[in-house]
Amino acid sequence: MGGIFRSPVLVPVKSIAAATTLSPDDSGVILVANTGTMTITLPPAAVSRGVNYKFIKTTAAASAITLDGNASETINGATTSALMNAQWEATEIVCDGSAWYIVGTAS
């Protein structure tokens, strides 16, 4: 009997270098190459249930990345979340269909 072989799970990766608004289709890994303070706006929670983003800051610039919920939607109870000042810091967020939650950070 042969072994079971599985195809690798491919995770979408997107690079951004300027302020942007994400869509649910961008779910996956977001590589952020910011040279200045940057705001990333999240899509509406109502259409993002199960969407997961992993943000990784790829530059050494000492500039924060701010995540901004759509309209008055929240991230861990706040409308914005300033994150990732140092190179290689990472933050993972997920949506439950009504709000966004930070589920992990690493540096």
Could you tell me the domains of the chain?
Answer: 26-106 (2.60.120.640)
Q: Is the confidence at residue 3, as pLDDT, over 90?
A: no
DSSP letter (8 states) at residue 24? G
**38-62 pLDDT per residue, tens:** 999 999 999 999 999 999 999 998 8
Instruction: Select from 106, 99, 37 the least CA-distant residue to 72.
Output: 99
pLDDT higher for 2 or 23?
23
Average pLDDT, the chain: 92
58: alpha, beta or left, given left = phi > 0 and alpha = psi -120 to 50? alpha
pLDDT value of position 103: 95
Residue 26 phi, psi dihedral angles, 5° rounding: -85, 5
